[in-house]
Structure 1
Amino acid sequence: MSVDVKYRTRATATGGRDGEARSEDGRFAVKLSTPKELGGPGGDGSNPEQLFAAGYSACFIGALKVAGGQLKIRVPQDVAVTATVGIGPRAAGGFGITADLEISLPGVERADAERLVAAAHQICPYSNATRNNVDVGLTIA
């Protein structure tokens, strides 16, 4: 598979799940902490699953807008995507993640919403990166 890269970014994490992460340009910086459910202390930091959920939900909205342009379906200003990301041990060893997206398209007829979501799921880079590797659920609110 070939990708015509239009944008590239870099971020560095130090200290693992109880450290910090920062983008190369310094515009993004986050303190990290391991959730209690994963054996950590909890705390006020974020975790990789939260960051993935935020990125996937934002990216999927972008894909909905591209799909809307292609399908000639107006995507409402108040479109919202809520991503729920889970993590746990895999039967095959190691850990895996799951993702469930709840898509809210106020004022869009159900059939059009289904077409938009299906098209966006083919367009979204996060969907393409996880396809056939991560269980992704799509629900139209």
Structure 2
Amino acid sequence: MTTIDKVLFTGKTHTTYGRVPTAADHGNVNLALSAPGHADLDQQFTAVAAHPTAEQLFAGAWSACYITAIGLIASQKRVTLPADTSVDIEVDLGQSGAAWLLAARFEVRIPGLPQDVAEKLARAAHEICPYSKAVKGNIDVAVNVTTS
């Protein structure tokens, strides 16, 4: 797989898992996202530019899907996720020679769970998240899981 030599832009999102809608307003884009079939789950997508880029929109949609997948896997395994579970995704647009590429970095935070349990949830979520499956093998994706 080709990796990015020169990053041209990075789209960033912060998505929280919770049952009560919350929103942080940075004066730009603030969208409440929903998970089809899971009306009790609400996500937050806050962009960092007045007009979101494709990378920000992709990261926002991916993060909403991915955090919902974490919740689904946790439910199936009877693991209670803490209210402050979150996912930060950065999607880079860049080049390697003449090729245009994407890459992504995930920062998954599941405070209070054992590290191995949190990592298993994060890995399993990538196996069922349609966005993760769509890019598998096509772009570099780095995942860091923290429990503190």
TM-score normalised by the chain length of structure 1? 0.65
Structure 2 residue corresponding to 1:104, chosen from 101, 105, 109: 109
Partner of 1:11: none
Deviant stretches of 4+, over 4 Å: none
What is the CA deviation profile of residues 43-100 of structure 1, one whole-angstrom value per residue up to 9, with x for unaligned ones?
A: 7321101111111111111000111122222122221000011011234x43110011
Corresponding letter in the other structure for 1:124: C
Aligned length: 99
Ranges in structure 2 where 5+ consecutive residues have no aligned partner:
1-28, 30-48
Partner of 1:84: 90
Distance of 2:96 and 2:64 partners within structure 1: 27
Partner of 1:138: 143
Q: Name the Cα RMSD after superposition.
A: 1.7
Matched, 1:66 2:91: no
Relative CO higher for 1 or 2, CA cutoff 8 Å, sep ≥ 6?
2
Corresponding letter in the other structure for 1:108: L
What is the CA deviation profile of residues 14-63 of structure 1, one whole-angstrom value per residue up to 9, with x for unaligned ones?
A: xxxxxxxxxxxxxxxx8xxxxxxxxxxxx732110111111111111100
Ranges in structure 1 where 5+ consecutive residues have no aligned partner:
1-29, 31-42
Q: Report the Cα offset of residue 136 of structure 1.
A: 0.7
Partner of 1:15: none
SS of corresponding position for 2:116: helix
Corresponding letter in the other structure for 2:91: V
Distance of 2:94 and 2:119 partners within structure 1: 30
Point out the structure with max Rg over C-alpha: 1
Identity rate of aligned residues, in percent? 36
Partner of 1:120: 125
Q: Report the Cα offset of residue 121 of structure 1.
A: 1.1
